Amino acid sequence: MKASPKTLLATLRGVRQERPSLWLMRQAGRYLPEYRALRETKGGFLELCYDPEAAAEVTLQPIRRFGFDGSILFSDILVIPHALGQHLWFEAGEGPRLAPPLVDEAIGSLEAAPQRLGPVYQTVERVSRALPPETTFLGFAGSPWTVATYMVAGQGSKDQAAARRMAYGDPSAFETIIGAIIDLTVSYLAGQIESGVDAVQLFDSWAGSLSPAQYERWVIAPNAEIVRRLRALHPDTPIIGFPKGAGGKLAAYADETGVDAIGLDETVDPVWADAALPAHLPVQGNLDPLALVAGGGALDAAIDRILAAFPDRPHIFNLGHGIVPDTPIAHVEHLIKRVRGG
């Protein structure tokens, strides 16, 4: 395979860099004044996601400002249930809503609307043409368990109780929901790849809420199936898995899903992760987003600890979760300079 000038992409393929590549989850968003200005002109969040011109602009904003090594598609994980036929909207100050909630309705009652994903592919095409040649373009989707928690409850929750109850009480019905999410997610990620992304990430934001046996069934097995199918279609496209909250189950996730790289949340000790994960598996992470808000000596110490934790392993520097809206831009600039050794 021809060597890539994209250092982040090379890292995902197992090539360790002298200094790690860098991007930040949610790097396109509310902490940027240019994002807030554009959002005011476009109305709601979902409308912004489905406007290819505007979504491409949002995706490119942090690349222009900071020169990150990776650009992450601006979209939302809930476009999948929307395309499966649920109604999706965002309540101001409260977050997403999906109707009908599948705790009350069978998924077979929904009328699928895969055409709703068309604008996302158009966004990918626009961004792919506009990115600098050295910038790796990352697509993404939510993992089945996390997406299902929203579909079952009709909204987010602190403990994912509705989905957990269904998974225990009616595993056949829950399996049907998971299967539908898997099928569409494979198609969706393949569409992103065919439209121009270089790699993809699977976000399992609520992986930490499950018991070990449930975790095997609803996190590891569905992600492994997505990886298997997607790799059959696009064998050269790296896949990052991000099972937030997995803790001690990270090694099993890495071994059994077959992902090319694994994201670490901020609760994971990077020294432990380096010892516990398969040798030479690329890792991504895992600065606490609130350390980035705090800045100063606390930020420097946290950065340095992470940089020192992976002496022989391919490493992509990132946050342990998404950047928060009140993050000072000066702290992001300082982070970039310190990681790059400037």
* 26 assigned ligand-binding residue: yes
283 strand-pairing partners: 262, 315
Catalytic residue, from 76, 265, 274, 288: name it: 76
Is 1 domain-assigned?
A: no
Q: Provide, rounded to the nearest whole percent, the portion of the chain with pLDDT above 90.
A: 93
Is 198 domain-assigned?
A: yes
Task: Round the average pLDDT of the chain to a whole number and report it.
Answer: 96
pTM reported for the whole predicted model: 0.96
Which tens digit of pLDDT belongs to each residue from 113-133?
Answer: 999 999 999 999 999 999 999
Q: What is the DSSP code string of 34-98?
A: HHHHHHHHH-SHHHHHT-HHHHHHHHHHHHHHH--SEEE----TTHHHHHHT-EEEEETTTEEEE
Which CATH number covers residue 67?
A: 3.20.20.210
For the question of residue 64 being annotated catalytic, the response is: no
Q: Which two tokens stand for residue 165?
A: 């109850």
pLDDT of residue 4: 54
pLDDT of residue 104: 85
Q: With beta carbons less than 8 A apart as the criterion, state whether 309 and 292 touch.
A: no
* 17 assigned ligand-binding residue: no
For the question of residue 35 being annotated catalytic, the response is: no
* 187 assigned ligand-binding residue: no
Angle between helices 118-130 and 52-66 (to 10 degrees): 30
For the question of residue 26 being annotated catalytic, the response is: yes
Catalytic residue, from 150, 188, 215, 253: name it: 150
Picking from 259, 263, 123, 140, the residue whose alpha carbon sits closest to that of residue 199 is 140
Picking from 47, 69, 49, the residue whose alpha carbon sits closest to that of residue 336 is 69
Judge whether residue 215 has pLDDT over 80: yes
Q: With beta carbons less than 8 A apart as the criterion, state whether 162 and 153 touch.
A: yes
Domains: count for the chain: 1
201 strand-pairing partners: 140, 240
Q: Which two tokens stand for residue 8?
A: 């982040």
The answer to whether the bond into 144 is cis (omega within 30° of 0) is: no
Q: Which two tokens stand for residue 135?
A: 């910038």
- Indicate the DSSP class of residue 113: -
Is 134 domain-assigned?
A: yes
Is 38 domain-assigned?
A: yes
Catalytic residue, from 26, 97, 164, 217: name it: 26
Confidence category of residue 5, pLDDT binned at 50, 70, 90? confident
Catalytic residue, from 13, 31, 35, 39: name it: 39
* 228 assigned ligand-binding residue: no
Domain extent, residue 139, equals: 7-339
Is 260 domain-assigned?
A: yes
